[in-house]
Amino acid sequence: MPARVLSVANQKGGVGKTPTAINLAASLALADQRVLLVDLDPQANLTSGVGLKGHTAAGGTIYEALTGEDVDSHAFVLPTQMAGLSLIPANRNLTGAEIDLVPLPQRELRLRSVLDPLRDSFDYIFIDTPPSLGLLTLNALVAADAVLIPLNCEYFALEGLADLVATLRRVRGALNPQLDIAGVLMTMHDERTNLGQQVARDISTFFGDRVYTTVIPRNIRLGEAPSHGLPAVLYDVKSRGAEAYLTLAREFLARERANLPEMEGQHG
Ligand SMILES: Nc1ncnc2c1ncn2[C@@H]1O[C@H](COP(=O)(O)OP(=O)(O)O)[C@@H](O)[C@H]1O
Ligand SMILES: [Mg+2]
């Protein structure tokens, strides 16, 4: 079956997008899924988080993939040190893409064109997006089957969500009618505080059963792992942060499989 493409998106910075992309992808790779990570943030934290800072594939980085003509998508995929986990890297050049894409034909569809030929080679493709609702994030939402929204359990968690929801509606109306919400993930949760609990309740009220049962705690190992160029699930698999992402991967897979279209008449 061709890969499902998921965008990890929230235009707020520091909500856990990058650690969610890395650790959910790595957890799925540990569960024998073939996973591709796509770094669409000019800060390139995803690329450094899997230990590939400064690395370029034969065809270049995501910047060259997005701005080139008739590119061979496979030439942008790098293996990581983890079996089953691959990466299309980014570097600072991507900063220019918000402007350089503007005059190009089909500027919102460029990432979709890059990723579609790769769907047959993977089970899941995760796109890590920048903290804005610009042309890069728009490309990610147009390329995706579904969006995964991390929300940090802090006071302003829900602020700005109206903008994201409006953007999703716009994308559905114009360029990607199938775009779904895969799930809403509560991150950086501190259960010792009343505030954390109140925010968690507010998020559940707003998004209902779209919210994953798994909650990602605030955990120092999740902050440390990127400086070692390793997913937390490899850096310290026993840490509470790593355990939470492994649990999330199980919940994610169960939900994905429950959402598969019915296949009439197929009995093993
Ligand atoms: N659950 C967590 N516990 C502790 N630190 C975290 C957690 N999630 C992310 N961080 C750290 O918080 C900072 C915020 O950035 P990040 O989550 O990468 O933001 P973004 O949503 O912009 O990708 C990073 O240094 C990251 O390592
Ligand atoms: Mg990030």
pTM as predicted: 0.95
Q: Are 134 and 46 in contact (CB under 8 A)?
A: no
Q: Please tell me the residue having the least CA distance from ligand 1 atom 5.
A: 223
How far apart are the CA of 154 and the centre of ligand 1, in A? 13
* Nearest atom within ligand 1 for CA of residue 241: 1
pLDDT of residue 268: 36
Task: Centre a 10 Å sphere on the Cβ of residue 174 and count the other Cβ atoms it contains.
Answer: 10
Q: Which ligand is the nearest neighbour of the Cα of 226?
A: 1
pLDDT of residue 196: 74
Q: How far is CA 130 from the centre of its chain?
A: 10
pLDDT of residue 158: 79
pLDDT of residue 266: 43
Angle at which helices 135-143 and 161-174 cross, to 10°: 60
Between CA 150 and CA 162, with CA 156 as vertex, the angle to 5 degrees is 70
How far apart are the CA of 40 and the centre of ligand 2, in A? 9
Say how far apart CA 27 and CA 245 lie, in whole Å: 7
Q: Domains along the chain?
A: 4-258 (3.40.50.300)
Query: Among 187, 189, 214, which is best to mutate for testing ligand 1, by the most ligand atoms less than 8 A from CB?
Result: 187
Please name which of 126, 148, 129 lies closest in space to residue 255, comparing C-alpha atoms: 148
Q: Are 3 and 125 in contact (CB under 8 A)?
A: yes
How far apart are the CA of 209 and the centre of ligand 2, in A? 25
How far apart are the CA of 117 and the centre of ligand 1, in A? 31
pLDDT of residue 225: 97
Q: How many residues are listed for the chain in this entry?
A: 268
Q: 55: burial class by Cβ within 10 Å (0-12, 13-18, 19+)?
A: middle
What is the mean pLDDT, run by run of 10 residues, along the chain of 268 residues? 96 95 98 98 98 98 97 98 98 96 96 98 98 96 97 80 91 96 93 78 87 95 97 97 98 90 45
